[in-house]
Amino acid sequence: MARLHWLEAVLPLGIIGGMLCIMGNAQYFIHKAAHGRPKHIGNDMWDVAMERRDKKLMEQSSGN
The predicted-structure confidence for 48-64, as pLDDT tens digits, reads as follows 999 999 999 999 988 76
- pTM (2 decimals)? 0.59
The predicted-structure confidence for 33-42, as pLDDT tens digits, reads as follows 998 888 888 8
Helices first, then strands: H and E counts in the chain: 2, 0
